[in-house]
Amino acid sequence: MISRPRSIFFSIHVPINPHFVALLEQNNNYLAYLIAGLSPIIAISFFVASARDPGYLRQQHNFLELLTKIHPSEMCPDCRVLRTPRSRHCAICNRCVERFDHHCPWLNNCVGYRNHSAFLTFLLSLITCLFAILVSCI
């Protein structure tokens, strides 16, 4: 599920940022150290969010037996699993995900129950890093 070349490029490219060297030369040390400190957090949270299972639902019972006991709307016809209240079927992954948020094309993975915190950490650290770069350009 993870796009290996993209994640390897991302984890190598971010810490070797030419903007970091330019900040050190301009005496903006606090911004340079902020960007340098956020770069590993961005890379690690990206890798964790893209590699971790988002909370795929597993088939635990016989599908035909459950259809006689449970209303068919509570079952996923594609995955043949019992749905939880906030689970949804991802058309791209072709699997049901518990507390499905969305399928992220950057991660090449769904964002769900088990990787939502890593995804939010990735987004917040990336936005903070981009904001620091923007401030340093002014």
Q: Taking a C-beta distance cutoff of 8 angstroms, is the pair 54, 63 a contact?
A: no
Higher-confidence residue of 52 and 1: namely 52
- What pLDDT does 74 receive? 82
> Per-residue pLDDT averaged across 71-96, rounded?
87
Q: What is the pLDDT of residue 6?
A: 47
What does the alpha-carbon distance between residue 99 and residue 64 come to, in Å, rounded to a whole number? 25
Phi (first) and psi of residue 31, to 5 degrees: -70, -40
CB atoms within 10 A of CB 138: 4
State yes or no: is 129 an active-site residue. Answer: no
Closest among 136, 128, 137, 138 to 32, alpha carbons compared: 136
Give whichever of 5-14, 18-27, 73-82, 94-103 has the largest mean pLDDT. Answer: 94-103
How far apart CA 50 and CA 53 sit, in angstroms, is: 8
Mean pLDDT score across all residues of the chain: 81
- Pick the catalytic residue from 79, 90, 96, 104: 104
pLDDT confidence bin for 138, thresholds 50/70/90: confident
- Whole-structure pTM value: 0.75
Pair type for strands 109-111 and 88-90: unpaired
Q: Cα Rg for the chain, rounded, in angstroms?
A: 20
Q: How would residue 76 be classed by pLDDT, with cut points 50, 70 and 90? A: confident
| 8 A C-beta contact, residue 97 and residue 112 | yes
Residue 16 pLDDT level (bands cut at 50, 70, 90): low
